[in-house]
Amino acid sequence: MQRFASVVAIHAGLLLGLTSWSPRFGNAQATDDMKNTLLLHNVYRCMHGVPLLEWDDAVAANAQKWADNGQYKHSSSQDRVVDGVQLGENLAWGYPTRSGISSTKAWYDEISLTEGGKGLVTTFSAAIGHYTQVVWKATTRLGCAVGKAVVSTKQGPKEGDYIVCQYGSAGNYQGQFSANVLAPTESLATCKQKVGYSGDVTVPGTASGESTGGSSGGSSPGDSPDPTAKLPSSCVPNFKLPTGGLCVYGNLHCQSKFCCPRLRVCLPDSGGRVSSNDVKVPANQQKSILDTIFLGAGTCEPWDDRQACMQTSEGEPLSTWNQSKCKCKQFYMDHYNAGTWVSLNTHEGFKCDSTTAEGANAVPIASVATKLVSYGVGGAVLLTSVLALVR
């Protein structure tokens, strides 16, 4: 326990203006990729004004044990305890290859999905769970590992690189986000110099055309829809819907601009809640609609392919938008493809015009490079993050 507590004091000096910092690895066999994975974590943490992470060989060994297990899913909470400390966990998978550096970039790039892209978070959202763990203030130790895992893809099962990073102590505790997830206050250039990281890295939404140098979605460029083509269910409503409204595109259909990627209803924000009473739909279809939204995992399971399933903080789909990749229930997909999901709303006076000008798209399409994360060429990538709940 003492090893975890001491690191805050060790690195407090950096936040007070120390000009440089050098990582220490007890394991001389740590690869350059793992060393740079730590450095990149600390570039981001420096930007947010939180203590830098220290590499922990015991945590890394625990991560390696799970990576060697070869299962692309989270380890149990019981398996993520080192020296009595509960660890958090971020995972990534890529075919044919994946690095800790590209994974860390992709995790942090979720900052684009925070409100206004400013990085402040007050409650948990699965869409940004990697980002919040990377910059979680109370976390002090990091250990990462790489293994191999076989994952089903559109082209069949593929064996790719499997990245596991574990964090001590765990972040993403409900009720603690405001104190632990802070907005950036330091520039990227300054923090690269302080930490001693010389690799290619940018912050989402900075200079146009800049690339993070790694892929972070599950689609390849050839799978992307034509951004000039009309998207399914892109009807234009006569007014935007409140919480509980059936939606597809946040910027088009929701007052809040947030259409929940899992439920496919409007929420007040990424951490908002909805009840069945908020959903106004025809009585003869109410049971089918409510079962689609609230039973099981929800309407869709968007986490494996964020580029195809997620939208920006402004509610804009990316050019890689593709609902067929989001593991959505058939009832929703039938209405989505028919353009009738949003039209199921029965709010008083509500209409949704399904027509758009020929060759036009009613839904603004966000640039992958500037709005969410840069897209790297080739391969498939999966990301997942774990939530630590206070019982």
Contact (Cβ atoms closer than 8 angstroms) between residue 203 and residue 131: no
pLDDT of residue 3: 53
Q: Which residues are within 8 A (CB) of 330 and not within 5 positions of it... i.e. 6 or more apart?
A: none
pLDDT of residue 43: 97
Output the pTM of the full model.
0.57
Is omega for the bond preceding 313 within 30 degrees of 0, making it cis? Answer: no
Give the separation between CA 385 and CA 188, rounded to whole angstroms.
24
Encode the chain in three state secondary structure: CHHHHHHHHHHHHHHCCCCCCCCCCCCCCCCHHHHHHHHHHHHHHHHCCCCCCEECHHHHHHHHHHHHHCCCCCCCHHHCEECCEEEEEEEEEEECCCCHHHHHHHHHHHHHHCHHHCCCCCCCCHHHHHHHHHHCCCCCEEEEEEEEEEEEECCEEEEEEEEEEEEECCCCCCCCHHHHCCCCCCCHHHHHHHHCCCCCCCCCCCCCCCCCCCCCCCCCHHHCCCCCCCCCCCCEECCCECCCCECCCHHHHECCCCECCCCCEECCCCCCCCCHHHCCCCHHHHHHHHHHHHCCCCCCCHHHCHHHHCECCCCCEECCCCHHHCCCCHHHHHHHHHCCCHHHCCCCCCCEECCCCCCCCCCCCECHHHHHCCCCCCCEEEEEECCCCCC
- Residues 84-118 as b/e (b if ≥16 CB within 10 A, e otherwise) read ebebbbbbbbbbeebbbbbbbbbbbbbbbbbeebe
Residue type, 173: Y
Give the separation between CA 292 and CA 286, rounded to whole angstroms.
10
Give the separation between CA 167 and CA 128, rounded to whole angstroms.
16
Residue type, 151: V
pLDDT of residue 274: 87
β-pair partners for 265: 246
Contacts 24+ apart (CB under 8 A), 326-331: 326/261, 326/300, 326/301, 326/302, 327/297, 327/300, 327/301, 327/302, 328/264, 328/299, 328/300, 328/301, 329/292, 329/299, 329/300, 331/288, 331/289, 331/291, 331/292
Copy the structure tokens of residue 17: 């203006």
Contact (Cβ atoms closer than 8 angstroms) between residue 91 and residue 163: yes
Cα dihedral 348→351→352→357 (10° resolution): -150
- From the list 313, 324, 334, 325, the residue with the least C-alpha distance to 380 is 325
Copy the structure tokens of residue 157: 């099962």
Q: Which residues are within 8 A (CB) of 172 and not within 5 positions of it... i.e. 6 or more apart?
A: 88, 124, 129, 132, 133, 136, 385, 386, 387, 388
Within 13 Å and on the Cβ side, how many CA atoms surround 25? 17
Tens place of pLDDT per residue across the chain (391 aa): 545 543 333 333 334 344 444 555 555 456 889 999 999 999 999 999 999 999 999 999 999 999 999 998 889 999 999 999 999 999 998 888 899 999 999 899 888 888 888 899 988 877 788 999 999 999 999 999 999 998 877 677 889 999 999 999 999 998 999 999 999 999 999 999 999 999 888 777 543 222 222 222 222 222 333 333 468 888 889 999 999 999 999 989 999 999 999 899 999 877 678 889 999 999 999 999 999 998 887 899 887 777 788 887 778 887 778 898 899 999 999 999 888 999 999 999 999 876 433 333 445 544 333 233 222 222 344 555 554 332 2
